[in-house]
Amino acid sequence: MRILMLSKACLVGIYQRKLEEIAKHPSVKELKVLVPPSWIDERGEVFLERVHTTGYALQVTPIRFNGHFHLHYYPEFPKEAAAFRPDILHIDEEPYNLATWLALRAARRVGAKSLFFTWQNINRKYPLPFRWMEKWVFQHIDYAIAGTQSAADVWREKGYMGPMRVIPQFGVDTRLFLPVHKSNHILKIGYVGRLVPEKNIDLLLKALASLKEYQWSLQIVGGGPEETTLRNQAEKLGLKDRIRFTGQLPSVEMPGYFQDLDVLVIPSRTMPNWKEQFGRVIIEAMASKVAVVGSDSGAIPDVIDEAGLIFREGDAADLAQQLRKLLINTELRCQLAEKGRQRVQENFTQEQVAAQTVAVYQEMLN
């Protein structure tokens, strides 16, 4: 079968390992993946990383309204679809986006089966014309993949009645995200992600301010509009010398970053229009045998399961208590590290995600 995928997420180099695994499958005759040259979000502009490109075609296509989540689209896509003549179009976008609506129309013109991918885990009513586009996509798409069960539940509530399967968008390459022996004298704590209010990094700083008697350091990786505010907060709390802001790192440097950590914290909080959808850094950290502490926002507890510690979102004292456990109990850290690696190997490898995705393709054609 011939697969055409449209995906701005595949700009990220380490995510491309899933594409190599899909292309290896005996039933996949040809895989072509179209990506924009870059994508703009709160962190800044993310450019294409060509890292894992064996066995398939990774091609740049122009984008319009870059950075506008609902309005962006790919003007050359209809020509690309007509030239490639895919059996299946994999639209790596939410069903209410203009890009999805236009891509699905192009797929129907060339007779391709089609699917969309969704992380949306809040039942939101979108304004016109996006509500019309969403309804039209529901009526004409052949399949849906949801990143979590909570996302799948939302689309059933919204009226999508077609076939759907729950598969994470990407897994982890456990050959890249490998644990190493650590001999740290101080506990190295990390945060990775956007620096925005819903990620709640200010709560992490408050929690750490109550743990000054312990030996720890914090490295914050990522960018966003909250950086200046967080730097000022760290200084006011007397934590400036213990905290390092690294900025955005290339995806190929992330395995090395995790290898240097002891603990990763995901302090997200639920907002009226957002709650944590998955937290890919969770499974990357667990694969690297890093103990994980996460809030109970959205999908975080489901991803971590029993392989980490959970605190009540918005509760700095509870977060501090969980961190204190890891500061004083080396054995607990080691146990969680082992459980995390095992959980990833059993559920979240790139090979597993790719195999499940190809199984969807086969079901669509059969």
User: Is residue 297 pLDDT above 80, yes or no?
Assistant: yes
Average of pLDDT values for 292-318? 96
| H or E stretch at 86 | none
CB atoms within 10 A of CB 64: 14
Within the chain, all domains assigned CATH 3.40.50.2000 are found at 2-171+349-365, 187-347
Q: Mean pLDDT across the chain, nearest whole number?
A: 96
Q: In what order do the strands lie in the sheet with 291-295?
A: 243-247, 216-221, 187-192, 263-266, 291-295, 309-311
For the chain, counts of helices (H) and of strands (E): 13, 15
As a three-state string, the secondary structure of 234-265 is HHHCCCHHHEEEEECCCHHHHHHHHHCCCEEE
Assess if CATH 3.40.50.2000 describes domain 2-171+349-365: yes
pLDDT for the residue 273: 87
* Omega before 127 within 30 of 0, i.e. cis: no
pLDDT for the residue 184: 67
User: Is residue 182 pLDDT above 80, yes or no?
Assistant: no
Say what percent of the chain tops pLDDT 70.
99
Binned at pLDDT 50, 70 and 90, residue 181 comes out as: confident
Average of pLDDT values for 200-208? 98
User: Is residue 180 pLDDT above 90, yes or no?
Assistant: no
Q: Which fold has domain 187-347?
A: Rossmann fold (3.40.50)
Binned at pLDDT 50, 70 and 90, residue 185 comes out as: confident
Enter the tokens of residue 87: 């059996």
Judge contact between 90 and 123, C-beta under 8 A.
no
Q: What global pTM score does this model have?
A: 0.92
